[in-house]
Structure 1
Amino acid sequence: MDIVIEAGVTAGIAEDGALTLLSPHGAAHLYAPEASAMWIALRQHGGDVRAAAAVLGSAWDVDVSAVRRLLQEQVTDWQRAGLVRSSPAPVHVS
């Protein structure tokens, strides 16, 4: 599953690492620094949850499956807030 940022969502990271996401309507959503790392990893990997979790698991020296579960929980929260949506994985034709 890939994650796509909804149009008009903006992100900011504070000095302490906290993540602020602004909805297209201007509602602010504040998150802990761990969410900043998740947001950045998702962006760097084109919304690919598995790839983002693998990188974070390696960086944090934590089991990748545990990171993937945490990342999926965070993504679900972002989806409920209308900040991101799921996109089906692209079909590769040979």
Structure 2
Amino acid sequence: MNIVIEAGVTAGIAEDGALTLLSRHGAPHLYAPEACAMWIALRLHGGNVQAAAAVLGSAWNADVSAVRRLLLEQVADWQRAGLVKTSAEPVHAS
């Protein structure tokens, strides 16, 4: 599964590592630093959930399958908020 950012969504990172996502309508969504790490890992790996989970699991010294479950829960929250969508096709990292 690959994650694609919805058109018009912007991201910002606070000094404390918190993530702010703005919907295309300007609605702010605030997330803890762990979600920020997930966002960055997804972006660096072209939206590939498995690759992002592997990197985070290594960085956090955690079980990759557990990290993948957490990542999928976060992605589901972002989907409900209209910030991301899934794609079968790989996404070029940007």
Q: Which structure 1 segments of 5+ residues have no match? A: none
Aligned to 1:56: 56
Deviation of 1:53 after TM superposition, in Å, equals 0.1
Counterpart amino acid of residue 58 in structure 1: S
Q: Deviations over 1:62-94 (max 9, x none)?
A: 00000000000000000000000000145xxxx
Deviation of 1:50 after TM superposition, in Å, equals 0.3
2:33 maps to 1:36: no
Give the 3-state SS of the residue equivalent to 2:3 in structure 1: strand
Aligned to 1:9: 9
Structure 1 ranges of 4+ moved more than 3 A: none
Give the 3-state SS of the residue equivalent to 2:24 in structure 1: coil
Q: TM-score, normalised by structure 1?
A: 0.94
Q: Which structure 2 segments of 5+ residues have no match? A: none
Larger radius of gyration: 1
Q: TM-score, normalised by structure 2?
A: 0.94
> What's the C-alpha RMSD, in Å, of the aligned pairs?
0.7
2-structure distance, mates of 1:39, 1:33: 10
Aligned length: 90
Give the 3-state SS of the residue equivalent to 1:12 in structure 2: strand
2-structure distance, mates of 1:32, 1:49: 19
